[in-house]
Amino acid sequence: MSAGASIGAGASRTIRARPGSIPAKSLAARPDGVPRPRGRELSASELQAFAVELADRPELWIDRVKHDSEQRLYEELLSDDHVTAWLICWMDEHDTGFHDHDVSAGAVAVLGGGVIEERLAVAGARRRRRFVAGESFHFSAADIHRVRHAGEGPAVTLHVYSPPLLRMGAYVIGEDGLLARHPMSHREELRPSEGA
């Protein structure tokens, strides 16, 4: 992210357009101009590099940052045959619950605040990692994880997927102890399922 930019109360940076930059509204429809491999699906590490590049261009997403205490707000920034990119805004207690991304690999760049990623572990200790503004991570299509707000003021993240995210699976552990996957559209909001 550009020096001097930050996001919201309690975050380490305040977001504002750079002096002399092109107005955000004229660039908001052009994140496809950010360098990345073209004409094919991207690997998880390539997605992470692309997410970081997008994060360093706040004029592409800054006008879309808004928060709601009741639910995460998300907006698709880019979609083509090989990649989708989403801006997601988080507040206290926002949580995706455990989910997968069907056939899509993905990466997340934290633009402001912090989130916690937890991988589903059937045995052994939980695998949790905390990420703050300026940090990023990636995951494969095979990974099952949850992402939740880290609880220190509003957070903003940028998510990229390849192939484009169309479907997800939400996971719940039933009263009988069995793990079940519930398919859902990428347009539905992920939330922790009952029993999870």
Of 140 and 190, which is predicted with more confidence? Answer: 140
CATH number for the region 24-166 comes to: 2.60.120.10
- Give residue 158's pLDDT: 97
Backbone phi and psi for residue 62, each to the nearest 5 degrees, phi listed first = -60, -40
- pLDDT of 85-117, one tens digit each? 999 999 999 999 999 999 999 999 999 999 999
- Give residue 122's pLDDT: 82
- pLDDT of 137-185, one tens digit each? 999 999 999 999 998 799 999 999 999 989 999 998 888 989 899 998 8
Of 70 and 3, which is predicted with more confidence? Answer: 70
Q: What number is the average pLDDT over the span 54-65? A: 93
Q: Where are the domains of the chain?
A: 24-166
- Give residue 14's pLDDT: 30
What would the 3-class secondary structure string for the chain be? Answer: CCCCCECCCCCCCECCCCCCCCCHHHHCCCHHHCCCCCCCCCCHHHHHHHHHHHHCCHHHCHHHCCCCCCCCEEEEEEECCCCEEEEEEECCCCECCCEECCCCEEEEEEEECEEEEEECCCCCCCEEEEEECCCEEEECCCCCEEEEECCCCCEEEEEEEECCCCEEEEEEECCCCCEEEEEEECCCCCCCCCCC
Q: Which of 13-27, 31-45, 109-123, 173-187 has the lowest mean pLDDT?
A: 13-27
Average pLDDT, rounded, for the chain? 82
